[in-house]
Structure 1
Amino acid sequence: MPPRRRSAPASESLTSDDLATLTTALATGKRATVYLREGMSGLGLAEGASARVVSIDGTTLTVSPTGVDDELPFEADELRMSKTPPPKPEPTKPKRPGKPKPAQVAVPVQSPHRPRAAQTSVPPNPSPSDAPPKPAAKPATKRAATKKATASVSVTIFGTADNEWSVSLVRGARKPQRSRPVAPEAVDAAVRSLGDDSAREAVTTLLNAAREEAQRRVEQLSRELDEARQALAALDTP
């Protein structure tokens, strides 16, 4: 199955340290367990379902999810080390801008001897903390990715000159199943239906060799049977 790729915060997916820890656990024969970040309805897996790690190749992990009789590849950003995701930090609330203070004007008391000019006091420049803060950036929306579990299948046909044929099956990265015997005529019909000339020629050559060997054996047994009959007839002669 082609690996699925998606971006995720480092706190929600496997990090390089997590991959190193899982690799060490596999090397020492310990069980390595990870958890799915999103559910897979097609396989009946919910978010946080556990999966046993089978192998690790770079950032691609081959795992066996609980309740699924198969091994599936996942990327590191599709898995996490805990069943539940870590709590997300609460967004900080923007501060409300302070109201500007009105200008203050001081009116002096006039002296009877000499008038004084009016003095105007100018408020100090507002501090940077009084400036309205910039609005927080909106979190980017995530697209839901549809996961499809796929696996490769290999079918192997094995034949010998003794006209013995067998077939074996391999699913994905799992161990091959035990081979089962099949009839020569079934192999011949299956290869002919494929339409591959090289495969048909190889099977036909082996079947012809087995047919010639069987014919030679029949002729040999016929000669031995004739000799036995002649010996029996000589014994019956008075």
Structure 2
Amino acid sequence: MCDHGEVSARRRTGLSADDLSVLSAGLAAGKRVTVYLRDPIPALELEAGTSARVVSIDGSTVTVSPKGVDDQLPFEADELHKTRPAARSAAPAPRRSAPAPEPSGRVRTSDGAAAQSASRPVTSEAPAQTTGAKPRPASPKTYRRTKTSAAAVSVTVTAAGEGTWTVSVLHGSRKQGKATEVSSDRVARAMHALGDEAAVAAVEGVIESARTAAQKRVDELSHELEAARAALAQLDGPAPDR
């Protein structure tokens, strides 16, 4: 049976390598895979233990879509739990000691009869000591900073040569899917729609260079075709008389 220290250490580890393997297998099978946030995210109004659907797993980085948030956020494996963490019970308040009763004095009359005097506090130069334990001030809990904002998304359009273009997407520093091939006319229309003059000029310059190279190739092939036709015509001429 493990002690409290071993249990606490196990909870802090988050998702293990075996957990990541099981989650990856579930995603590959098309199943809905759910994990739970270890820490709260106040900026997104998310509490600790909020469920989150797993979108993708890349090494120890798990991209999830938390409940109630229309976005996908990357987390490290140690920031997530496979099961919902148990709620923490509140610590009992320290007991306060009862105040010591104030002493009362007696005075004696001249005839020897005792009379009860009015109660009054006893003063002393020494500081008063309380019998109860002094409660220790609660130290503020420090939370590790969590990721509260989504990673930036970068869309890159690349000329692959001979009028071929590709579009790739990066979510933060991680590549999302494979590059998609697009035609030159679609790239040109997209740049004009964005209205960035520098981007339009760059794309049109690449397209013009590709157009010039294509026309040159067409001229070369046309010349080769004419030469081939002439050679064929000579071969198909009338046979010489014997």
Q: TM-score interval w.r.t. the shorter chain?
A: 0.5 to 0.7
Question: For this pair of structures, how many residues does the alignment match?
Answer: 193
What CA distance in whole angstroms lies between the structure 2 residues aligned with 1:104 and 1:36? 66
Identity, % of aligned pairs?
28
**CA positional deviation for 1:35:** 4.6
Contiguous gaps of at least 5 residues in structure 1: 1-17, 57-61, 111-117, 141-146
Map Cα deviations across residues 22-63 of structure 1 (whole Å, 9 max, x no partner): 7xx99xx898999533378x79x763258999899xxxxx76
Deviations 1:63-108 (A, max 9, x none): 645878944369xxx999x934654432234444344333212346
- Please say if residues 158 and 166 of structure 2, whose CA atoms lie closer than 8 Å, have aligned partners that are also in contact: yes
The separation in 2 between residues aligned to 1:103 and 1:55, in whole angstroms, is 80
Structure 1 79/94 Cα, relative in aligned 2: closer, same or farther at 3 Å?
farther
**Number of the residue aligned with 1:89:** 91
| CA distance in 2 between partners of 1:226 and 1:79 (Å) | 70
CA separation of 1:233 and 1:72: change in aligned 2, threshold 3 A: closer
Q: Structure 1 residues 124, 220: CA separation in 2 closer, same or farther (over 3 Å shift)? A: closer
Q: Which residue of 1 aligns with 2:153?
A: 153
Following superposition, the deviation at residue 226 of structure 1 comes to: 1.7
The aligned residue for residue 47 of structure 1 is 48
Residue 144 of structure 1 corresponds to: none
TM-score scaled to structure 1, two decimals? Answer: 0.55
- Contact kept? 1:103, 1:123, Cα under 8 Å: no
Aligned letter for 2:226?
A: D
Q: Which residue of 1 aligns with 2:31?
A: none
Q: What does 1:51-130 align with in structure 2 at a 5 Å threshold?
A: 64=63, 70-72=72-74, 83-84=85-86, 87-107=89-109, 125=123, 128-129=128-129
Q: Secondary structure at the match of 1:175?
A: strand
* Residue in 2 that maps onto 1:187: 187
**Residue 213 and residue 123 in structure 1: after superposition, are their counterparts in 2 closer, same or farther (change >3 A)?**
closer
Native 8 Å contact 1:50 1:65 kept in 2: no
Deviation for aligned residue 1:202: 1.9
Q: Cα distance 1:195–1:106, how it changes in 2: closer, same or farther (>3 A)?
A: same
Computed over aligned residues only, the root mean square deviation of the Cα atoms, in angstroms, reads 5.3
Query: Does residue 236 of structure 2 align to residue 233 of structure 1?
Result: no
Structure 2: gaps (5+ residues): 1-8, 21-34, 141-146
- Shift of residue 201, structure 1, vs aligned partner: 2.0
2:175 aligned residue: 175
Letter in 2 for 1:36: R
- Does the C-alpha gap of structure 1 residues 155 and 66 become closer, same or farther in structure 2, counting only changes over 3 Å? closer
2:65/2:73 contact within 8 Å kept: no
Deviation for aligned residue 1:154? 0.7
- Please state how far the C-alpha of 1:219 moved relative to its aligned partner: 1.1
8 Å Cα contact 2:62/2:75 also seen in 1: yes
